[in-house]
Amino acid sequence: MTFSLKKIAALRRMAMVLAIAVSSIVWLASATSAQAAINVLACEPEWAALVGEIAGDKVNVTSATTAAQDPHHIEARPSLIARARNADLLVCSGSDLESGWLPPLLSQSGNRRIQPGGPGYVEASQWVTRLEIPTVIDRAQGDIHPGGNPHVHTDPRNIARVATALIEALARVDAPNAETYRSRGKAFLERWRDATQRWEQQAAPLKGMRIVVHHKEWTYLIAWLGMKEVGSLEPKPGVQPTPTHLAELVARMKSEPAKAIVYGSYNDPAAARFLAQRTGIAAVQLPYTVGGSERAKDLFGLFDDTIERLLGAANAAPAKP
């Protein structure tokens, strides 16, 4: 069987085209693999937002909870288990905040990477100085956290400390992009430092401000700004407000009034409004976490809005009950 010169030339061209096509496919597959984002599951919106600041489009990040949900109590649904199963990194507040739902979630996920002590497990509260660590563990005292108060993100200085740990955790589970995480993380920490200084200057008038809280989620915010907690709508941590306890608060506020009654985006506002109506003290809803208000779309907006709302309450004249 013989081939003409034209046929031979045509076959060579076809072979060259095929070789280029194969090379392109191999290159595209390699590029796609190199650029594939890792999966990060955050227990709360604040940590999802922090991961996004550090990692950008290098990760697919989702939050197990929203600002409208109490992070103490959620259901580990099949969709959430699937996300945990596919996660390369898990970041949670810790200190037993998620003790009611995270252990079964981790167990059912079967994902070794994100188990406590694993390379993809980050517990935010381990990287900060925890407050309200109980000396006696007695469940009769309410929802007591043995490891201390877990709501560490309400102090922006803690956000910076956790960011430093997250930078290295991301670099550990995604070594090819380690320098990107460190570079972006450094830039974020610089912007965060400047913002924290600005918030501290703006919030100077809040020092000594007396507030009633709904739950103990504001402990770190209060310590940071030098405010004073003078009452809680919950008779014990995690115990819903009762008529008897609210009546006691009304009597106390008449002789030792607070400046504001503070509650979060996921708290039922009924108790705060009840106390406000009977004392003339302003009830102030704070966003608590990212997504907790229209302005709190990211971590910077979260603290911008929080400071502004507290200052508004501090400057407002008391209403008549």
Residues 83 and 193 in one domain: yes
Query: Would you say residue 24 has pLDDT above 50?
Result: no
Is residue 1 one of the residues assigned to a domain?
A: no
Q: Are strands 228-232 and 121-123 parallel, antiparallel or unpaired?
A: unpaired
User: What's at 97, amino acid-wise?
Assistant: L
Q: Is residue 122 part of a domain?
A: yes
Task: Please give the C-alpha separations between residue 275 and each of 12, 122, 243, 258, 279, in angstroms, as whole numbers.
Answer: 87, 39, 11, 11, 6
Q: E strands within the chain?
A: 38-42, 59-63, 89-92, 121-123, 210-213, 228-232, 260-264, 282-286
pLDDT at position 15 is 46
Alpha-carbon distances of 115 from 118, 239, 269, rounded to whole Å: 5, 30, 36
* Whether residue 64 is found in the same domain as residue 116: yes
The rounded distance, in Å, linking the Cα atoms of 71 and 99 is 10
pLDDT at residue 135, rounded to an integer: 75
Is residue 190 domain-shared with residue 112, that is, in the same domain?
yes
Q: What pLDDT score was predicted for residue 295?
A: 97
Do 123 and 180 lie in one domain? The reply is yes
User: Locate tokens 């779309």: which residue?
Assistant: 297
pLDDT category of residue 7 using cuts at 50, 70 and 90: low
In a domain, 246, yes or no: yes
Q: Which residues contact 243 (CB under 8 A, 6 or more apart)?
A: none
Q: For residue 143, what pLDDT band results from cuts at 50, 70 and 90? A: low
CA gyration radius, the chain: 26
212, 72: one domain: no
Stated pTM of the model: 0.87
pLDDT band at 19 (very low <50, low <70, confident <90, very high): very low
Predicted pLDDT of residue 141: 58
Mean pLDDT over the full length of the chain: 89
Answer yes or no: do 237 and 300 share one domain.
Answer: yes
Last residue of a domain, one of 165, 200, 235: 200
Give the pLDDT of residue 140. Answer: 54
pLDDT at 14 over 60: no
* Phi, psi dihedral angles at 60 (to 5 degrees): -105, 110
CATH number at residue 89: 3.40.50.1980
Domains identified in the chain, total number: 2
My answer on whether 207 and 196 are in the same domain is no
Residue count of the chain? 321
Q: What is the DSSP letter of 37?
A: P
Q: Which domain holds residue 221?
A: 203-315
Each residue of 25-45: pLDDT tens digit?
333 333 333 456 899 999 999
Q: pLDDT for 265-311, tens place per residue?
A: 999 999 999 999 999 999 999 999 999 999 999 999 999 999 999 99
Cβ contacts of 313 within 8 Å, gap of 6 or more = 259, 260, 282, 284
Q: Name the residue with higher pLDDT: 30 or 142.
A: 142
- If asked whether residues 89 and 149 sit together in one domain, one would say yes
Q: What's the pLDDT score for residue 27?
A: 35
Could you tell me if residue 286 is inside a domain?
Answer: yes
Of the chain, the percentage scoring pLDDT greater than 90 comes to: 79
Which residues share a beta bridge with 63? 42
Tens-digit pLDDT profile for residues 54-106? 999 999 999 999 999 999 999 989 999 999 999 999 999 999 999 999 999 99
pLDDT tier for residue 142 given thresholds of 50, 70 and 90: low
pLDDT, residue 238, reads 85
Out of 137, 168, 200, a domain closes at 200
305 in the same domain as 259:
yes
User: 160: part of which helix (H) or strand (E)?
Assistant: helix 156-173
For residue 245, CA distances in Å to 109, 217, 239, 240 come to: 42, 19, 11, 10
pLDDT tens sequence across 195-215? 999 999 999 999 999 999 999
Whether the per-residue pLDDT at 225 is higher than 60: the answer is yes
CA 65/CA 56 separation, integer angstroms:
20
Residue at 31 is within a domain: no
Amino acid 165: pLDDT: 97
* Residues 54, 157 within the same domain: yes
Q: Are 175 and 101 within one domain?
A: yes
Q: Are residues 230 and 208 in the same domain?
A: yes
Span 145-159, average pLDDT: 92
Is 170 inside any structural domain?
yes
